[in-house]
Amino acid sequence: MIDVEHLGKVYGSTSAIQDVTFQAQPGEILGLLGPNGAGKTTTMRILSGYLPATQGNAWIAGYEVHENPMAVRQRIGYLPETPPLYADMTVENYLNFVVKIKGIPAGDRAAKVESALERCSLQEKRKVHIRKLSKGFRQRVGIAQAIVHDPPAIILDEPTVGLDPRQVIEVRNLIKNLAGQTTVILSTHILPEVSMTCDRVAIINKGRMVSSGTLDDLMRQLAGGTRYELEVEGDRSTIAEQLQRVEGLSSLDWLAPEDLPAQHHKLRVSTETNQNFGKQLSTALVNANLGLYELRRVGASLEDVFLQLTTEELTPENPGAETSGLPSESSGEEASRVEAMNLPPAIEPDGPSKEIKS
Amino acid sequence: MTALTTVLTNIDAIFRKELQSYFKSPLYFVIAGFFWVLTALFLLLIAQNIIEQAGQMDAGRQLGQSGSPVDVPNLVLQNFLSVMGSILLFVLPVLSMNLYTEERKRGTLELLATSPITNWSVALGKLFAVVTFVITLIFPVALLELYLLSTAKPALPLQIFWVGHLGLVLLAAAVLSIGMFISSLTDSAIMAAFLTFVVVLLLWIVNALGQALGGVLGDALNQLSLLKHYSTLSQGVLDTPSLALFLSYIFLGLFLTAQSIDLFRLQQS
């Protein structure tokens, strides 16, 4: 549904995003997660067609965003960081305007506006001037604007930022209700938001993709031991044989990147313990006279990102406000998750990543 | 929907949105009040002045002095159109200053730029709306003129009246189109109004230079001068080159606006 491949954007001499690749399947909610300044807004602006990419491609519903901008614009709803509202219009007039410029035929407009008002619980505010609405309601009008024409893809840039905890819950429920019929991409720097609303997550940091998958996958990556990526020259079976002798090794996957020289192999190994076994790995390979070209601990960058993310929404002045409105079972589950994320077990005192290159 | 109806629907949507915002803003009521009071005052002053002059000349002729009869209604209309044009030139920068600055400031340009609507449709809708506002400014004044002129005998040919006011609307549309382009370049309404006013001053300078300088250069400046062509139309002459010039200015403004919106997006950091 939404396909992003090797997207890059350069502003002058600084690169905002590099090689961003992810997919969102029809009907799923994908969270674009990353700390502030990671390049989330830039990515979303490219997807919406607002900004051109310097590299790479993005397809929405089969249309490339730069080759077919009008086709893409018809098929997306987009909520920028600041909701694009006309303060002197009433909610209803504003949505009537939006539905008209989104190319909905005259006969269907009233029904679409009505449905958007209903889905965003804005019926009572329909005659109110947007200027007079609270921030939470404005955000809802912003979301109504993005869904009013029932687009197959919806792009929401930080949809819950700046809202009070109650409004946050309402907006999240609204987004969850969109799933199934609509593909949603939302960006956030708040970790629990992803676990509460998203089916899958793509993590971006400093303009680069760190990881993507379901949140459970990522948690396993984070908590589940140590992983290394290796590039080794030599016979495949010899390599496997040598590595299997390393104590504690739990899995071995062969990777197949395209641009590998002959006789070179890339592989990923992991342990279930958090013990750092880089030394054993390199010793085993070098002793067997195999060429070790790269030995890199992976997952460390994920830890880096997680440490920068907002892992909880409680503020000192306002303890318990976030969980108060939630059903108790889910809040309990969230709390334990948050705790787990706060203390990633795989962090080592001697720095998050080690690299050996020949 | 066919492509044409889509375009028309889009222009109509922008047109209505813009017009609606004018009639809700106190600024535009202040402008309208200021314009109506000032123009009505001038209309009466000019009419009184010219009628007095004509009376004196009539008296002179009766005493045997030479002099041709004065076409009072025509003279009143031309003088008044020229004054109303000047007043309007002061008002236009204020009308065009918010056309795009507001959209840029509020981030609504991001909505327009990600909706299936072209820059041209947006610019045309905005220009139609602001020109419509100018027409609502001129309309009551024109009724007053018609009332005054209807008392004249022999009556003034109405063509002069219509062509003159068409010229006024075209002059306004040309300046607003350029002003719209200027407003698409900046976030600051004050800046946009100021720069547009500078353009208006340039129009006067070009006009004055064109009259002062003779030769090829003077001729060329005269050809480009909006005010020169406005005075042609205000004499009731429906002159094709004049119409073409006004339409070219309008097109230029629209074209530059449509381009600058894309450029602004591409350069944005």
* A170-184, A268-282, B71-85, B164-178, range with the lowest pLDDT: A268-282
Substitution target from A14, A76, A100, A155 for chain B, most B beta carbons within 10 A: A100
State pLDDT tens for residues A268-277. Answer: 887 766 667 7
State pLDDT tens for residues A339-352. Answer: 344 434 443 444 34
Average pLDDT (B113-121) is 92
pLDDT for A337 beyond 70:
no
* A206-215, B36-45, B253-262, range with the lowest pLDDT: A206-215
Cα distances (Å, whole numbers) of residue A30 to A7, A10, A179, A199, A201: 17, 24, 10, 6, 5
Cα distances (Å, whole numbers) of residue A273 to A153, A226, B105: 41, 7, 54
Average pLDDT (A112-137) is 92
Out of 3.30.365.10, 3.40.50.2300, 3.30.360.10, 3.30.70.1340, select the CATH number for domain A224-298: 3.30.70.1340
Q: Rounded mean pLDDT of chain B?
A: 88
Chain A residues inside the 8 Å CB shell of B100: none
Instruction: Let me know: does B35 contact B87? Beta carbons within 8 Å.
Output: yes
Is some CB atom of chain A closer than 8 A to the CB atom of B105? no
| Residue extent(s) of CATH 3.40.50.300 domains in chain A | 2-219
Q: Scan for tokens 């921030």, then name that residue.
A: A135
At B234, the pLDDT band (50, 70, 90 cuts) reads confident
Chain B residues inside the 8 Å CB shell of A106: 9
Per-residue model confidence (pLDDT) at position A319: 43
DSSP-assigned states of every residue in A17-74: EEEEEEEE-TT-EEEEE--TTSSHHHHHHHHHTSS--SEEEEEETTEETTTSHHHHHH
In three-state secondary structure terms, A86 is: coil
| Cα dihedral sign, A121-A123-A124-A125 | positive
pLDDT for A79 beyond 60:
yes
**Domain boundaries A2-219, corresponding CATH code:** 3.40.50.300
Substitution target from B24, B110, B112 for chain A, most A beta carbons within 10 A: B110
Q: How many beta-carbon pairs below 8 A join chains A and B? A: 75
Can you tell me the distance from the alpha carbon of A63 to that of A69, in angstroms, rounded to the nearest whole number?
A: 8
Can you tell me the distance from the alpha carbon of A207 to that of A15, in angstroms, rounded to the nearest whole number?
A: 8
Chain B residues inside the 8 Å CB shell of A89: 17, 20-21
More confident residue, B64 or A100: A100
Per-residue model confidence (pLDDT) at position A341: 43
Is some CB atom of chain A closer than 8 A to the CB atom of B262? no
**What six digits make up the tokens of A27?**
């009907």
DSSP 8-state code for residue B213: S
Instruction: Let me know: does A35 contact A311? Beta carbons within 8 Å.
Output: no
pLDDT for A354 beyond 50:
no
Q: Nearest by CB to B116, which of A87, A102, A106?
A: A102
Task: Find the residue in B nearest to A87 (Cα).
Answer: B106
Which of B10, B35, B219, B6 lies closest to B144 in space, CA to CA? B35
Other beta carbons within 10 angstroms of residue A115's beta carbon come to 14
Task: Find the residue in A nearest to B3 (Cα).
Answer: A103
Per-residue model confidence (pLDDT) at position A315: 46
Q: Which of residues 278-337 of A touch B (CB under 8 A)?
A: none
At A117, the pLDDT band (50, 70, 90 cuts) reads very high
User: Where do the structural domains in chain B lie, given as residue ranges?
Assistant: 3-267
Q: Nearest by CB to B115, which of A73, A83, A87?
A: A73
Q: Nearest by CB to A88, which of B12, B21, B265?
A: B21
More confident residue, A126 or A353: A126
Q: Scan for tokens 């997919």, then name that residue.
A: A23
Buried/exposed code over B194-226 (b: 16+ C-beta within 10 A; e: otherwise): ebbbebbeebeebbeebeeeeeeeeeebbebbb
Can you tell me the distance from the alpha carbon of A54 to that of B9, in angstroms, rounded to the nearest whole number?
A: 33
